[in-house]
Each structure stands twice: as C-alpha cells, then as structure tokens.
Structure 1
Amino acid sequence: MTTQTVTIPALLGGSFNAYLATPSTQPRAGIVLIQEIVGVNQNMRQIANDFAKVGYQVLVPDLYWRLEPGVQLDFDDEKQRAKAFELLGEFDWDSGVEDLKASLSFLRQYPSSTGKVGSVGFCSGGKLAYFMATRTDADANVSYYGVDIDRNLAEATKIHKPLILHMSANDEYVSPSAQTTIQQGLKDNPLVTIYRYEGVSHGFSRAGSSAYRKEAAELAGDRTLAFLKQHLG
C-alpha cells in the first residue's frame, strides 16, 4: 500500500487536496471517504489505509479547504471540538457535495480504476454520504451516524443506488424521534438498509476516542465491507 497527497480541481473553481491510499494489488474499486467534522485527521487516514489494505483505492478529500485547508482536530479535546463545530457552522453543504462529485470523477478516471466508486462517511460525512446517494451517481454509499438526515428526507426519492445507514441508538446528535422519522421515511425503499446499534453513542466507530465501542464498530465494519464487496466488487 502507498499513500500520497493529490490535488483535485474543484468544479466550482480552485482546487483542493486529498489523501489517497492505493493498494499494492489491483484495486477492486474506489471509495470516497468523507471526513467527520474534525477534518482529514489521523483517524480518517487510518480508515483509508485499512480500506486500501483490503484492495480499495481510497480518496479522502479536504472538504474544509475553503475555510481552513489541512485542518486536523481531535473530537475528544474540548477546544478542538468547539472549533470543529465552528467550522461546521460555516461549511457550505452544497459546495461540499460539488467537491465530492469532483472526487468521485477523480477516482473513476484514475489509472487502474474499475470505474466503480462508492462513498463511506462519518458524522457530518454521514450526512454527505446520504447526499452522495441522493445527488450523485456513486455506485454504493455508507453513512455512519449521519446527522440531519431526518431534515432531508424529501430527497429520498432520488436514491437509485444501494445505501446503508449505521445508526447509534444513543446518538446525542440524532434524537430518538429523528431516528424514528428516518426509519419511517426510508422503510419502503428497498435500496436502503438501516442498522441500529443499541447502547452506543455518536462516534462509536472512531477508534481511539472515548466514544469507541469495539464490538459495534467491528460489526458495522464487517457489514460495510460485505456491502462494498457486493456492490463495488
């Protein structure tokens, strides 16, 4: 496996950096890995490396580049967490989706690409993974504890490719009523699979954090890999 920083032309002008992890074998397919609110930090790079080790070409775009390029924060640090929420408050979601479309195109055109590319996103990236399902032609999408999906269910009719939602039963950022709204709003769509993990909070897959819960994280990870293998190869 090799890693590098690449530069991607933005569809709206300018360019942004992304972390690219390339497997040592012929790539199965591509994954656009979508950052949490803390930026492209060590945790996101490690997730990318782990996907690359099982054969995927993984791209992690710096979605905060218009606000503060290269930001890397620790969610468990109170001051850094506050800054992350500040950045998120300034983040333009529509521009972020356009950057993800550019990332999708970059991976599809990359040498040795199979042409199939999906997305996996966490937290705010989980919301963006949902938008990847509703606003792009990504081949398969995985959302981990995505926020505000209940407020964007009007877009659900545009889902034409398989989507997984991993939901934390005790998510402090997605209320029980919001989770019920999501489940009711998507239950009739055969392309959507919802997994709910009891007894865990937001960020249960964030390795090394106070929220990390090994059993739930490994179960969600196994389900994600099986899903990606089925739909991306």
Structure 2
Amino acid sequence: MRAGETIRLTSRADGFVFEAYHVRPTDARRGGLVLIQEIFGVTDHIRELADGFAEDGYEVIAPSFYDRQQPGFQASYEAADMQAAVALSQAAPWDLVASDAQAAIDALEGPVFVAGYCWGGAAAWLVACRCDGVAAASCFYGRRISELVEETPRCPTILHFGKTDASIPMERIDEIRERHPDLPIYLYDAGHGFFSDRRKDHQPDAARLARLRTLQVFTRNGGGRGEGA
C-alpha cells in the first residue's frame, strides 16, 4: 500500500487544477521536495521514489504535469507507450511547467528542493532557473537542458549524466559545462535512466552514488533534521 495520497494543486498561470502525489515524512522533517516525473508520468516508480525520499525526511509532492493533455497518464516502457509519452512531454510548454511546479513549491513549507529524472531532469533545471523558493536542485539526465542552457539556476544545482547515454551526447554536456563552468556535473558509467530499477540501463552503484550526492546537496542547503514530522 502506498504511503501517500492524491492532492490537487492550482496553477498560477491559468488557474488549471491538476493532481499530484503527496507523501509526508515518516520521521523528523528535513524539508519539502518537488519530485518531477520521467516522460512516463507519475507512475508507480515515481511514487516509489517519492515514498523513499519521505523515509529520508522529506515531504514530497510529485505533480502530474500532463493533466492538461491527458489526466492521470501513466506509460509503460513499451514502444507505443513511449511514443505517446514523448508526444505529451513535447506538448507541455515550459512556461506552464514552471507555473505548475511553482504551485507545488508553494504548497510545501520550506526549505523546498527539487529533483527530476529524464524529462523531469530538464524540468528541474527549469524550476531552478525560474521558480521562487527553491533551496537546491538535482537534475538527472535531462536531455532537454540544452534548450534551456542560456538560463542560469538561482539556487545550488547539480547534474547527473550517464557516460554511455546515447540520447545525450557528450557535446551537449560540454555545452552546459562551458556555459556554467562552476556547476557540478557528475558523470557515471551508465546509460540513460540509470536511476530507475524498471529500465534496462539501471546501474545500482551509479544510482546509489547519485542519490547520496542529491541528499548531500539538500542537506548543505537547509535540509537538516527538524523537530517533528
């Protein structure tokens, strides 16, 4: 049984009401966390990640960013589902993504952090650059960060990429590094989606190290233990 619940949030941009998975910490609270989905939607995997961060002391909200187009969308890793997921991700305007993420940030008591995977890795970068009230961000293999590379994060931000990720050539990573030379960029002996144990490129050692680095950047930027859950 899942530890969390479904809540509804209202976008600042247009008043659109959308759903999100919400789970509270199981022990003393470290802060809030906006967890941003892969292209596949708020799947069982994303809810599992949210539950895991709650066990680490974070109150987590995982917004359903595709609700304007297809409420409740969840895709498998099959080819047809993947094509549908890609289409939905490409049809989600960045300005509305930022607005919906801001609604999630505003629903959490600070400090508020953000983490995102795949499409969500780029969305987490967007949030770090445009949204208010973010203490730190961790972005996992965000291919579309290159579309937003001229924007600058307004909070401490770290990036994670797989060295053998065919969808993100090293040239794109070098572009980010050249534009943001002081930004921590971590490279792992892994492919795309290495954090997910549902994917063929899952690399447990890389996932553990990336998660540790994520928790460390959160801790260094206000994610210390509170007095209660």
TM over 0.5: yes
Task: Give unpaired runs (5+ residues) of structure 2.
Answer: 224-229
State which of 192, 201, 207 in structure 1 corresponds to 2:197.
207
Distance in 1 (alpha carbons) for counterparts of 2:136 and 2:119 = 18
* Matched position secondary structure for 1:47: helix
- Partner amino acid for 1:128? A
State which of 112, 125, 130 in structure 1 corresponds to 2:120.
125
- Partner amino acid for 1:119? V
- Partner amino acid for 1:67? Q
Shift of 1:208: 2.2
Quick one: percent identity of the two aligned structures? 32
Shift of 1:148: 2.1
Q: TM-score, normalised by structure 2?
A: 0.92
Specify the alignment match of 2:184 in structure 1.
193
CA RMSD, Structure 1 to Structure 2 (Å): 1.4
Structure 1's consecutive aligned runs of 4 or more residues displaced over 3 angstroms after TM superposition are none
Shift of 1:2: 3.6
- Whether the aligned pair in 1 keeps the contact of 2:130 and 2:154 (CA below 8 Å) is no
Specify the alignment match of 2:98 in structure 1.
97
Specify the alignment match of 1:51 in structure 2.
53
Task: Give unpaired runs (5+ residues) of structure 1.
Answer: 109-114
Specify the alignment match of 2:81 in structure 1.
80
- Partner amino acid for 1:7? R
* Matched position secondary structure for 1:217: helix
1:164-184 Cα deviation digits (max 9, x unpaired): 100111222211211111112
- Whether the aligned pair in 2 keeps the contact of 1:5 and 1:17 (CA below 8 Å) is yes
Specify the alignment match of 2:226 in structure 1.
none
Specify the alignment match of 1:219 in structure 2.
209
How does 1:145-160 map onto structure 2 within 5 Å? 145-156=141-152, 159-160=153-154
Specify the alignment match of 2:63 in structure 1.
61
1:122-150 Cα deviation digits (max 9, x unpaired): 11110011111110131100100011222
- Partner amino acid for 1:95? L
1:196-233 Cα deviation digits (max 9, x unpaired): 113x1110001122121111111111111111122132
- Whether the aligned pair in 2 keeps the contact of 1:134 and 1:160 (CA below 8 Å) is yes
Distance in 1 (alpha carbons) for counterparts of 2:99 and 2:16 = 12
Select the structure with the greater relative contact order (CA < 8 A; seq sep ≥ 6): 2
- Partner amino acid for 1:26? A
More helix, by proportion? 1
Q: TM-score, normalised by structure 1?
A: 0.90
Specify the alignment match of 2:137 in structure 1.
141
1:19-39 Cα deviation digits (max 9, x unpaired): 001113232100000011000
